[in-house]
């Protein structure tokens, strides 16, 4: 890499290094995740023989187990862990989008109230257009 100063400053050079490192780490995690090294025992009503699965599948199974109510080895019921529920839903449905910037006066507004307010504004805009077209 060149020792010349970055045109936008050293912070941008450092950001580029971090992004490349992050991409390399993601690629390695994907590659290692495909390795077929984990053994799973089906614990259903009719257990079958042990199967070898990928690390990625083993991790997904672990996330699902923690996200759902289950029994531990002593038979105690373990309640779902909301952090794992969030991970599973974010991966399945995608992370929620960061919404529009909120007006300072609407902070803490509930979703139904926000939808109602926005619909009222849209209806008023349509009504204004209709009234202005007649003149």
Return the pLDDT at 33. Answer: 84
Q: Is 75 helix (H, G, I), strand (E, B) or coil?
A: coil
Integer-rounded Cα radius of gyration of the chain: 26
Return the pLDDT at 75. Answer: 86
| Residues 50 and 59: beta-carbon distance below 8 Å | no
Place of tokens 């849209």: 122
Q: In the chain, where are the structural domains located?
A: 35-95
Pick out the chain residues at pLDDT < 70. 1-13, 43-45, 95-107, 133-135
Residues 6 or more apart in contact with residue 128 via CB below 8 angstroms: none
Total-model pTM: 0.50
Return the pLDDT at 37. Answer: 86
Say what angle helices 10-33 and 55-67 make with each other, to 10 degrees. Answer: 90
Q: How far is 79 from 3, CA to CA, in rounded Å? A: 55
Q: Which of 19, 50, 23, 53 is nearest to 35 (CA)?
A: 53
Return the pLDDT at 98. Answer: 65
């Amino acid at each position: 890499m060149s020792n010349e100063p970055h045109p936008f400053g050293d912070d941008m050079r450092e950001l580029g290094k971090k992004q490349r490192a992050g991409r390399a780490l993601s690629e390695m995690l994907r590659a290692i995740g495909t390795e077929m090294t984990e053994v799973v025992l089906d614990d259903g009503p009719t257990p079958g023989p042990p199967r070898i699965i990928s690390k990625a599948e083993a991790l997904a199974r672990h996330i699902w187990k923690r996200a759902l109510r289950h029994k531990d080895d002593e038979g105690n019921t373990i309640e779902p862990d909301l952090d794992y529920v969030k991970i599973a839903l974010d991966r399945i449905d995608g992370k929620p989008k960061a919404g529009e910037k909120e007006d300072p006066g609407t902070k803490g507004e509930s979703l139904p109230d926000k939808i109602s307010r926005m619909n009222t504004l849209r209806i008023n805009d349509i009504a204004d257009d209709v009234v202005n077209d007649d003149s």
